[in-house]
Structure 1
Amino acid sequence: MPSTARPLRKLGFLTIGLFDPADPAAGHESTLRIIELGERLGFDSAWLRHRHLQHGISSPVAVLAAASQRTRRIALGTAVTPLGWENPLRLAEDLATVDILSGGRLNPGVSVGPPTHFDQVKDALYPDTAEAEDFSYERVRRLLDLVRGKPASDFSGREGFEVFSDVVQPQSPGLGRRLWYGGSGLRSARWAGEHGLNLLTSSVVKAEQPDGPWDFAAIQQSLIREFRARHPDGDAARVSHGLVVIPTDSASPEQRAKYEAYAAQRLPRTSSPQGPGRLLFAPDLVGTSQEIAERLSAHAAFREVDEVAFALPFTFAHEDYVQILTDMATSLGPALGWKPAG
């Protein structure tokens, strides 16, 4: 089997937590069972996407609070929480609470920018302050400061029978070191490094050069190197990789056909930058664990990392995720040098 330049040290997975709007409880329960399965299989981390006004998990912090009580070891993350929808002070309280409940296993990933379809949602989200809201990196800095214990108030002390703190409560030591930024461009990579965050990369990058040909892996490699060049920890700064990876070792013929059709449907968007953001997508990797390991070992960006959060496809059934995760843990991970945890 091939090996990467850095043998894989941490294996994780990412799910959107899709549900049927007519029966949302079943979809949320499926997500919790998938996280429990991940822990039994030895995965190091489980991550949830954040979806607003869609049929995917809208409150991953709440779901991870539930997962924290059904697991004991696996790290629990968000990839990512778009801060344009959040109040940093309130989010800091929620994150710290779930981190305490989980025993220090929470890995919050965040991003910035205006909420999706902001013009259509702003009257519900920010009815009085929409034009004044700051959706820049400043919103991340506020969250960082609050999580790391900087004052949120100029008042502390006793007032009658009540005691007030000037910092977010609870405080969870170590949470500030487990904050991640989801970056797809050089500016984000630089900012995340300079501010000591960890970096989440995914199957999407910004094609910032005007003309092709565009090499996804080379662009992503440049982001990782720029991030580490600006980070206090240098080459030891944490980066997690997140391609869509679908091993088929134990899949049925019907499952293989479904997976291949899914990847083929999404392939055209990988040939050139998409939309005004000039987003370039990586092809989904479908095949045996050996085939996928060979492709990853030749991937310039993947060779820079030693931890991953492979993204599960959005629209598959629970039994498909069971098969994919089982193959990841028993075949693909070991092919990449990984050993199951605990």
Structure 2
Amino acid sequence: MPDTARPLAKLGFLSIGLFDEADPFAGHESTLQIIELGEQLGFDSAWLRDRHLQYGISSPVAVLAAASQRTTRIELGTAVIPLGFENPFRLAEDLATVDVLSRGRLNAGVSVGPPTHFDDIKAHLYPDTAEGENFGHDRVLRVLANLRGDAVSTFAGTEGIEAYSPRIQPHSPGLVNRVWYGAAGLASAAWAGENGLNLLTSSVVRAEEDDDFARIQRSHIDLFRQTHPLGQAARASQGLVVIPTDTATPEQVTRYRAYAESRFARTQTPQGPQRILFAPDIVGSSAEIADALRAHAGFQAVDEVVFALPFSFEHADYVQILTDVATVLGPLLGWKPGA
């Protein structure tokens, strides 16, 4: 039976880092300020989405490197890096560097599959190897091996005055245990468990055996833990869009509800051949949101969450939402802010 009384142990938030093409600095600076605010409010983690050829953060690892120097406690995560765009060797170097700079605060969330609009970009992304690229789980395994410190070179030692290592440098012990897998389907959830990863669920799932979002999300979490070596102790995080209105202005409340309403139709039935199903955005007072979460089958299975900030809101909106989440909603769910 689900433990609906389980207190929330870890509270995080997620941002896409929207920016204006004519002034990208302002959007990136806003994201960094939001992460700083998150730390001040006691959030346990801040996560960045990864968007290529869009007006959202395309290099979350670089932005988190900056965030690591403006914060001291909050964990910093990627949710998620699509590995189809990445070289696992170079990505491991970047991830380890940020983990060192943040003193062990990085959570590396990844996913697999062909890059979005691959046919349109493959001539530039993989001009010589597009047809032979493997976009499956092997890419994750390569990242894990690199972060673990497995040898990537047959040469080690000193050549002249330069010293060479057989493994990725810098090596950051423990980072390999903070790799998360973004799963939208049962097979992916099972694979993440079998390979000892942490599980990131989101507001998007594939409706393979059910048409109810909460039950689907719960089935992914349950299957993940059934296959994970740590069993029920395996870490899984729930992701939803929640918009508390406790301190919102009437204008903000009207805009928030219109935003959720504009996205509601897609939550009623699975979309497309892959039967993609979206979760409804939850808008209301923190008390109303807490009641909705306690009744949510997915939430009942976790003790940590990463709530996604709406993509297109203003900086002041994010300040209000995060403040309400940390000061009202979180405590209602049994969470205590970090020191």
Interval containing the TM-score (normalised by the shorter chain): over 0.9
Give 1:79 deviation, angstroms: 0.2
* Structure 1: unaligned runs, 5 residues or longer: none
Look up the equivalent residue of 1:95 and give its one-letter code: L
Give, as a single letter, the amino acid of the residue that structure 2 aligns with 1:87.
Answer: N
User: In structure 2, what is the Cα distance between the partners aligned to 1:33 and 1:56?
Assistant: 16
* 2:79 counterpart SS class: strand
Q: Which amino acid aligns with 1:169?
A: Q
1:195-254, CA deviations, whole angstroms, 9 ceiling, x for partnerless residues?
111000010111113xx6x11111111100100011111100000111000000000000
Deviation, structure 1 residue 338: 0.2
Distance 1:302 1:5 in 2: 11
Structure 1 length-normalised TM: 0.97
Q: How far is the alpha carbon of 1:153 from its aligned partner?
A: 1.1
Does 1:307 find its partner at 2:284? Answer: no
Match of 1:10 in 2: 10
Quote the Cα distance in structure 1 between the aligned partners of 2:111 and 2:273.
Answer: 18
How far apart, CA to CA, are the structure 1 residues paired with 2:190 and 2:158?
43
Measure the CA separation in 1 of the matches of 2:32 and 2:323: 16
Distance 1:5 1:180 in 2: 26
Q: CA deviation at 1:278?
A: 1.4
Shift of 1:321: 0.1
TM-score w.r.t. structure 2 length?
0.98
- Please state if 1:38 is matched with 2:29: no
What's 1:170 paired with?
Answer: 170
Q: Does 1:20 align with 2:20?
A: yes
Q: Tell me how far apart the structure 1 counterparts of residues 229 and 153 of structure 2 sit (CA, whole Å).
A: 29
Aligned to 2:260: 263
The aligned residue for residue 327 of structure 1 is 324
Cα deviation for residue 155 of structure 1 reads 1.2
1:101 aligns with 2:98: no
Instruction: Name the CA distance, whole Å, in 2 between partners of 1:156 and 1:226.
Output: 42
Q: Which runs of 4+ in 1 moved over 3 A?
A: none
Is 1:337 the counterpart of 2:334 in the alignment? yes
| Superposition map of 1:54-93 within 5 A | 54-93=54-93
**Kept in 2: contact 1:245–1:284 (CA 8 A):** yes
Per-residue CA shift, 1:45-76, capped at 9, x if unaligned?
00000000000000000000000000000000
RMSD across aligned C-alpha pairs, in angstroms? 0.9
Aligned to 2:133: 133
Cα deviation, 1:91-120, whole Å, max 9, x if unaligned, reads 000000000000000001000000000000
Q: Which amino acid aligns with 2:94?
A: D
How far apart are residue 277 of structure 1 and its match? 2.1
**Where does structure 2 lack aligned partners over 5 or more consecutive residues?**
none
Tell me the distance in 1 between the aligned counterparts of 2:298 and 2:237.
11
2: CA distance between counterparts of 1:10 and 1:34?
18
Deviation at 1:89, TM superposition (A): 0.4
3-state DSSP class of the match of 1:310?
Answer: strand
Q: Is the 8 A contact 1:240 1:305 kept in 2?
A: yes
| DSSP 3-state at the match of 2:246 | coil
Q: Quote the residue 1:142 is aligned against.
A: 142
